[in-house]
Copies of this chain bind each other. A is one copy, B any other.
Amino acid sequence: MRATRFFISTLKEAPADAEIVSHKLMMRAGMIKRLGSGIYNYMPMGLRIIRKVENIVREEMNRAGAIEMLMPVVQPAELWQETGRWDKMGPELMRVKDRHGRDYIIQPTSEEAITDVIRTEIRSYRQLPVNFYHIQTKFRDERRPRFGLMRGREFTMKDAYSFDRNVEGMQKSYEIMYDAYTRIFQRFGLEFRAVAADNGAIGGSGSHEFHVIADTGEDALVYCPTSDYAANMEAAEALPTQTSRPAATAALTKTATPGKAKCEDVAQLLNIPLETTVKSIVLAVDAEKDSGKAAQIWLLLLRGDHELNEVKAGKIAGMANYRFATEAEIVEHFGTKPGYLGPIGTIKPVNIVADRTVANMTDFVCGANEADFHFTGANWGRDLPEPVVADLRNVVAGDPSPDGKGVLAIQRGIEVGHVFQLGTRYSDDMKATFLDENGKPQLLQMGCYGIGVTRILGAAIEQNFDDKGIIWPTAIAPFEVVICPMGMDRSEAVKTEAESLYHALLASGIDVILDDRGERPGAMFADWELIGVPHRIVIGDRGLKEGKLEYLGRRDTEASNVPVAEMLAFIQAKMAAK
C-alpha cells in the first residue's frame, strides 16, 4: 500500500470522552470514528486490523472443523420468545418493530437462530457432531456505552455453536474449541490466560473465559503460578486460611467500641490484627409474591479483611434471588443498626452462614448487636452453635490454591473470549432433537463459543502501548512494515531505493506501506509510532551513501543500520520470528 492511496488521519489530542488508553489511541490513530453513542465507524486503518483478527479466527475455526455461515442481524422475536429470553433479557436487548408491527431484535448473540436452523437441518445422529460459526455484527444496548470498542453497543463477534449427540460429545467439541481458542490467542501474539468461569445466566455446566492480560483490565484473574489452576474471581474457590480450628483461649467479653462501626476501626481501637475480626453482612430473600410472608433474613460472616463474593452467595441453597436487607429489616432482627451486628443474641432468628475461614477462627471479635459494643473472645460451639459453612469470599493473593499445588496470585484481564457447555438449555426450549441409533428422538447437546473481534483491538492496545502510541503484535498490525523515505521528492536515490524495497517486500508477501506523503521526518515518525506499525525502515541520502538503511523495531530504543542489500532478508527474518 502507498500512503497516498490510503487514508491516514492522526490527531494530536484524543477527544474528551475517551477515558482509557486504548480508546484514546485508537481515536488519535484514526482507527475508529464515533458515529453515535457506542457506535463507531471502522476507519480504513482500523478495518485492516479487524480483518487480520477475523482471518486468524477464521483459519483456526476452519482448521478445528467448524463451518462458516452467516446468520442475520435482525431476527424475529418469536424465536427469543420460545427460549424465554425475550422476557428475561433487559433493555440491553435492542427490540424493533417492522412496518406491520411485528417484533424483531437486533441480535446480541445467535443461540436461538442457530438452534432454529439445526432443528430442521439435523435429523440423524449420523450428521453429528457439527459446529457452525459466523462473524457478524452484534448489538447490545449498553446503559452507559464507553471505552470505545471495549464497551460499545455495535460490535463484531465471532460466535460458534456445536451440536452433539451426548454430553461426552459436547465435552469433546468444547475441548476442540478450547484448543482452537488457545491457538488463536497465541497467533494474535498477545499475552492471555484462560480461566474457569461461572456459568451465569446463560445456563449450562462448564465454561472458560479467555482474557488478554492488562493492568487496566476490568476482571481479576486468579491463578496458581506453580500449577495450571486458573479461574476468574467469581469462580475461584477460596479454601480456609487455616485447615483446622485451634482451641478457645479467651472468654466472651462485651467490649465498648464507641463509634467504631468498621472492622478496621475496631481492630485499631483494640490493637488487635484485623484477621481476628468477623464482619456481618445481612441479606434477604423475599417470599413468593402474594404469599403474605415476610422476607427470610440471612447473616453471612466473613473475616474482617475478606470480601463477599456475590456470585458464591447466590449459590447457597435458598439464596438464588437474594438482595441486601433494608435497614428496617436489620433493626427488626438484630435490634440495632448496621455496624455492630453479629451472630450472638439476635432478637429474631436469622439463617447464619460462615465463610470457611470464619468457621476455623478462634477467639474472634464480632458485633454485639448493641450500638457501640462488640464481643471479643467469641468461639464456635461455646458461645454460639456450630455454623453452616460455605465458600463465601473472594480469594486474595497468597491464598492456598484449590488444587493444593501452591498459592494463588491475581492479575487483571480483559475478557475477549468465552467457551460454554450449554447442554440442552436451548435445544429443550426449542425442541431441537435428532434420531439416535434406535430411531428415538433425543435432545441435542449444545456448546457455544464467542470471541469479541472488535474488542480484541482495545484489549491488545491496553496490553501493548507506550507514551508514543500503540505497539501492535505483527500478526494483527495494520501494516507489518512501514518504509519512511526522507526527502523522496528531492532525492532520486531515496526514491529509487524506496520503490525498489517496497516492491521487494510486497513480492515476498510482506504487508508493507510506503509513506510517500512527503511529510517531514518528525511528523512521519510520530504518525507511525502512534499507529504502532512494528517494523520501520528509514531511507535517507546520508545512509544510502554508506550503503545503509535504518531499521527500528517499535519496541527498540535504538535504530540499527542494515546494509541495503541485506534489508529484505533482515525483514524476512523478523517476520519468521514473529
Contact = CB atoms under 8 A, between A and B. Distances in A.
Interface stretch (A94-102, A206-214, A508-516): A94-102
A339 B175 CA distance: 78
A118 to B, nearest CB: 11
Contact of A106 (B9, B43, B96): B96
Interface residues of A, number: 51
Contact of A42 (B9, B42, B43, B69): B69
B73 A137 contact: yes
B154 A72 contact: yes
Interface in A95-124: 95-96, 98-99, 102, 104, 106, 113, 116-117, 120-121
A447 to B, nearest CB: 17
Contacts of A327: none
A72 B132 contact: no
A259 interface: no
Contacts of A71: 35, 41-42
A44 B5 CA distance: 34
Contacts of A73: 73, 106, 137, 139, 154
Contacts of A41: 69-72, 113, 117
Interface string A508-547: 0000000000000000000000000000000000000000
A52 to B, nearest CB: 13
State the main secondary structure of chain A at its contact with B: mixed
Contacts of A554: none
A37 B75 CA distance: 10
Given A35-B113, A99-B91, A5 B65 contact: yes
A146 interface: no
A288 B222 CA distance: 73
A50 interface: yes
A92 B96 contact: no
A39 B69 contact: no
Nearest to A33: B117
Contact of A76 (B36, B43, B139): B36
A496 to B, nearest CB: 24
Nearest to A145: B98
A74 B106 contact: yes
A141 interface: yes
Nearest to A138: B73
A434 to B, nearest CB: 14
A277 to B, nearest CB: 43
Given A99-B141, A141-B99, A154 B69 contact: no
A94 B74 CA distance: 11
Q: Output the residue of A39, A91, A116, A132 with the most chain B CB within 10 A.
A: A39
Contacts of A37: 102
Contacts of A33: 117, 120-121
A86 interface: no
A5 B104 CA distance: 33
Contacts of A5: 65, 67
A60 B98 CA distance: 36
B98 A141 contact: yes
A116 B69 contact: no
A324 interface: no
Interface in A37-89: 37, 39-44, 47, 50, 65, 67-76, 79
Interface centre among A42, A79, A104, A137 (most CB of B within 10 A): A104
A33 B117 CA distance: 8
A275 B65 CA distance: 68
B98 A70 contact: no
Given A74-B153, A76-B35, A67 B7 contact: yes
A130 interface: yes
A33 B132 CA distance: 14
A75 B39 contact: yes
Interface centre among A65, A73, A117, by most B CB within 10 Å? A73
Given A36-B104, A72-B39, A67 B94 contact: no
Given A44-B69, A47-B70, A73-B106, 13 more contacts: A7-B67, A9-B121, A35-B72, A35-B76, A41-B117, A44-B68, A73-B73, A73-B139, A74-B139, A74-B154, A91-B99, A92-B99, A106-B106
Interface of A: 5-7, 9, 33, 35-37, 39-44, 47, 50, 65, 67-76, 79, 91-92, 94-96, 98-99, 102, 104, 106, 113, 116-117, 120-121, 130, 132, 137, 139, 141, 143, 153-154
Q: What 10 A-B pairs are tightest by C-beta distance, nearest first? A: A91-B99, A36-B76, A42-B70, A96-B96, A39-B72, A44-B67, A99-B141, A72-B154, A44-B69, A73-B137
12 contacts: A7-B67, A7-B121, A7-B130, A33-B120, A36-B72, A39-B75, A39-B76, A42-B71, A74-B139, A91-B99, A96-B106, A99-B143
